[in-house]
Amino acid sequence: MTTFSLPANHPQRYLLNNEVHARPCTSLYAPERTSHLALMMTPEQQAQERESLAILCERYIQSPPAPGANHFFTDLGAFRLRWEQHGEFSTYTFYVHGAYGEPFSKTALDDVPSDWLQSLPGQLIVGCHAAIVQSDEEGADLDDISPLFSDNTLIGAEVSGGAAQVFTDFRIHADGFGRILIYDRRLRSRQLGRLLQRMFEIEVYRMMALLTFPIAKRLIPQLSDADQRLLCITTEMSQASSNEADLLDNLTMLAAEVEHSQSSTQFRLCASQAYFRLVVLRISELREERIRGIQTLAEFMDRRLEPAMNTCASIERRQITLSKRIARASQLLRTRVEIALERQNQTLLESMDRRAKLQLRLQETVEGLSVAAITYYAASLVGYIAKAGKEMGLPIKPALVIGISIPVIALLVTVGVRYIRRMVETAQKRNT
């Protein structure tokens, strides 16, 4: 065998490659009794269930799940256990092989220690018993199996190209468990394991999808009330006499309520659609063929589950639409407030402009008075100097000197004041 020198492996190469091989289906042979439990778990309870699994494995002298593992299969002698940990729930499937009497008269859980079952953390969301029967090509007699489902409406079909038949009623019976009956005509062991796993997954995902339905029904009146409040706000916005500040307060409060509702329910609403798609996918994988006289699983889901899921999807879309409408109304109201502020600012600027012009006129008046005052005081000083020169014997006439100096002084003062004003304006322009 030739050895190649290759680059270093990506750190997750083997992890990613093995992911598609994780959680393989269990090989099954008819006759078989199985019981399936799905428990809603918090992160704290998920840590506790590992301890419970370790206790069970220790009781039967078997190795517990590896640290960090999220699926586990073990043969404990009296029964086989398959455990899987998902994001919101964990599943336990118990298998017992061998002949038995009437289906569901004795279940796989009867061989599991009851004290250990009671110690499991979490809340039971799905409990289901399944019985696998070896059958010929004729398959099941509907009259014979109807009493096994308490004469409820049967739902079933031929699956896997007619290699098997499945029956259920999607009801919780007096023992607190649902029931699935599989007639194996010619399935291989892996096929039978996949078929059973799909049936259990349909039941689990159906219940997980329906978890959102009560939330959706509770949201209907809340969204209707929010819609009506938004209508009142937008109607009042169209009136010129409305108070923008009050409208903005009411709209902000409504937006906060809708966003809180959307944030608290968005995960559940999105999850319901994801679970519903998994239900539809698992049913399509069954490759159903109609058994005359009873509904197929796809028909039952179309009539019973799909309307509930459509309600949940409608509520999700309604929340998103309402949030967008509130955002648009907020934008319109902010635009209206901004326009009102711009008008106020324009009025204020016009008022300031008028005041500036008035101040300019006053300033020019003051400048004229200043020129007169300075000229008066400067001419007085010149008069005192002229009188002093006359007293010294100089041939000066003070009155004449004062009269001549007044226009000269007035001209010089005027030029000086304008020069100073020009210097101030130049400095102002440089600063701005």
**Beta-sheet pairing, 164-168 with 155-159:** antiparallel
Three-state secondary structure call for residue 237: helix
Model pLDDT for residues 47-94, shown as the tens digit of each residue: 899 999 999 999 999 999 988 888 899 999 999 999 999 989 999 999
Short-list 143, 125, 137, CA closest to 208? 125
Distance CA 222, CA 209 (A): 22
Burial of 286 from C-beta contacts in 10 A (0-12 / 13-18 / 19+): buried
**Per-domain boundaries in the chain:** 26-188, 213-341
Query: Could you give the 3-state DSSP secondary structure of residue 65?
Result: coil
CA atoms in the 13 A half-sphere facing the CB of 304: 15
* Tens of each residue's pLDDT in the chain, 432 residues: 566 678 888 888 877 777 666 777 889 999 999 999 999 999 899 889 999 999 999 999 999 998 888 889 999 999 999 999 998 999 999 999 998 888 999 999 999 999 999 999 999 999 999 999 998 888 788 989 999 999 999 999 999 999 999 999 999 999 999 999 999 999 999 999 999 999 999 999 999 999 999 999 999 999 999 999 999 988 888 887 778 788 888 888 999 999 999 999 999 999 999 999 999 999 999 999 999 989 999 999 999 999 999 999 999 999 999 999 999 998 888 888 787 788 888 888 888 888 877 776 777 666 666 777 777 777 788 777 877 777 787 777 777 777 787 888 778 877 877 777 778 777 777 776
Distance between CA atoms of residues 230 and 240, nearest Å: 18
Amino acid symbol at 157: A
Strands, E assignment, 135-177: 155-159, 164-168
Written as one letter, the residue type at 428 is Q
CA distances to 349, 359, 363, 425, 428 from 431, in Å: 21, 21, 22, 10, 5
CA 314/CA 319 separation, integer angstroms: 9
How big is the CA angle at 273 (ends 269 and 276), to the nearest 5 degrees? Answer: 135
User: Residue 140: CB partners within 8 Å, gap ≥ 6?
Assistant: 165, 167, 181, 183
Full DSSP string of 295-317:
B-HHHHIIIIIHHHHHHHHHHHH
Pairing of strands 71-75, 164-168: unpaired
| Mean pLDDT for the chain overall | 88
Nearest 10 degrees: CA dihedral of 67, 70, 71, 76?
40
The pLDDT of residue 1: 56
Take residue 171 and report the two structure tokens written for it. 């009801």
